[in-house]
Amino acid sequence: MATHIQPEGLADKGIAGETEAPPVRSGERKFGSGIEIVLLALFMIVMLFPVIWMLETALKETKDIYAVPAKVFSFSPTLDHFKNVFGADSPVLKGFLNSVIVAGSSTVIATVLGVPAAWAYSRFTLKAKKDQLFFILSTRFMPPVVVVIPVFLMFRDLSLLDTRLGLILVYSAFNLPFTIWMMKGFIDEVPAEYEEASMLDGYSRFESFWRVTMPLLIPGIAATAVFALIFSWNEFVFSIFLITDPETRTAPSAIAGLIGGTTIDWGLVAASAMTFAVPVLVFAFLVRKHLVAGVTLGAVRR
C-alpha cells in the first residue's frame, strides 16, 4: 500500500533512519559531491601553494629563484641555502639557539606557575573567582605594541633590555593566561571525588593533588606546554622591541633582519623560514587533537 507513496527501494532498506539519502536524489547528490571535491581541492592548492613555493625557493639555486617566468617544476634542487642557515657565521643560527632557550624556559615557567593555579581555580571556591579568571584572560587581549612601551621603559630601568631573561619573563606572562585557562578545562574533567577519596585514605590536600590528580593531567599538561612553546616560538613584537643585540635576539627578529638591506637573499630567507617552521609543524601535529581547545585558550572545547 505504502509503495506508491515511498520511492522505490526505500522500503527494503529497512527503517528510513538508516538510509543515507533518498534514492531519488542520488544522481543529484553525486553531482553535488563532485563539485565539492573540486572546490575542496582548489582551496587546498591555494592554501598550500605559498608553503610549497617557499620550500621550492629554499631548494632552488639562486639564479633559478630570480628566473622569469617562475620555474615551478624544472629546476635542480640544491641544499646550499640550508647550509648557509647552519653556517658558522650565520646570524640565523644564533637566533635559533636563543629561540630554543627563550621559548623553552618561558614554557617551563608558565607551566610550573600555571598548572597549580589552574588546579586551585578548579577545586576551591574563592572570592570573586570568575572575575579573577576573566582578568587573567583579558591580559591576553591587550595589543602587544601598546604593552611593549611601558615594558620597554621598565626593562630599561631594570637593565633587562637585550637579555634573554627579560624576554623569558614577558613570554611567561604572555602564556600564563592561556595555560591557566586550558589547564582548568583539563582539571575540571578529572573528578574531584578522586582527591576526596584519597584524603579519606590519609593523604593531605597537597599530596592528593600531587599523587592522584597530577599523574592524570600529564597528557593535558603536555598539550598545553606545546601550545605555549608554539606561541613563544612564533612571537615577534616583543622580541623585536625588547632585543636589538644580535647576540641575544630570537629567530623571528633574526630572520626579519635578513630583509633589511637593499638586496635580499630570498634563498636564505626561504631556507631560514622553512627551518624555523619545521618544529612548529611537528609540535602542532603532536597536539592536533587539542587544537580547538588550544587555539581558543581552552575556552571552547570540542
Among positions 155-194, residues that touch another protein (CB under 8 A) are 169-170, 172-173, 176-177, 180
Q: Based on CB atoms, which residue is closest to another protein, 86 or 135?
A: 135
User: In the bound complex, what is the minimum distance in angstroms from residue 107's beta carbon to another protein?
Assistant: 14
d(CA 296, CA 68): 43
Exactly one of 80, 241, 246, 265 binds another protein (CB under 8 A); that residue is 241
Instruction: Evaluate whether 209 touches 195 at the Cβ level (below 8 Å).
Output: yes
Exactly one of 83, 205, 247, 286 binds another protein (CB under 8 A); that residue is 205
Omega cis (within 30) before 69 = yes
d(CA 114, CA 60): 45
Exactly one of 11, 100, 108, 120 binds another protein (CB under 8 A); that residue is 120
d(CA 277, CA 252): 10
Return all residues near 255 (Cβ < 8 A) that are at least 6 apart: 92, 95, 269, 272, 273, 276
Instruction: Evaluate whether 183 touches 175 at the Cβ level (below 8 Å).
Output: no
Per CB under 8 A, contacts with another protein among 257-286 are: 259, 266, 269-270, 273, 276-277, 280-281, 284-285
Instruction: Evaluate whether 161 touches 281 at the Cβ level (below 8 Å).
Output: no
User: In the bound complex, what is the minimum distance in angstroms from residue 49's beta carbon to another protein?
Assistant: 8
Cell of 184: 582548568
- Say whether residue 2 binds another protein (CB under 8 A): no
Question: Which range, of 78-86, 88-96, 189-197, 290-298, touches another protein by CB under 8 A?
Answer: 290-298
Total interface residues for another protein by CB under 8 A = 100
Cell of 54: 617557499
d(CA 241, CA 256): 13
User: In the bound complex, what is the minimum distance in angstroms from residue 87's beta carbon to another protein?
Assistant: 19
Question: Which range, of 79-87, 89-97, 143-151, 213-221, touches another protein by CB under 8 A?
Answer: 143-151
Cell of 37: 571535491
The 8-class DSSP code of residue 94 comes to: H
- Structural element, H or E, at residue 224: helix 214-234
Q: Based on CB atoms, which residue is closest to another protein, 149 or 197?
A: 149
Q: Based on CB atoms, which residue is closest to another protein, 59 or 230?
A: 230
- Say whether residue 117 binds another protein (CB under 8 A): yes
Question: Which range, of 74-82, 90-98, 189-197, 293-301, touches another protein by CB under 8 A?
Answer: 293-301
Per CB under 8 A, contacts with another protein among 63-82 are: 65-70
Other C-beta atoms closer than 10 Å to the C-beta of 113 total 16
Other C-beta atoms closer than 10 Å to the C-beta of 259 total 11
Q: Based on CB atoms, which residue is closest to another protein, 79 or 300?
A: 300
Per CB under 8 A, contacts with another protein among 17-56 are: 17, 19, 21-22, 32-33, 36, 39-40, 43-44, 47-48, 50-51, 53-54
Exactly one of 79, 97, 126, 165 binds another protein (CB under 8 A); that residue is 126
- Say whether residue 95 binds another protein (CB under 8 A): no
Other C-beta atoms closer than 10 Å to the C-beta of 251 total 27
User: In the bound complex, what is the minimum distance in angstroms from residue 173's beta carbon to another protein?
Assistant: 4
d(CA 82, CA 63): 16
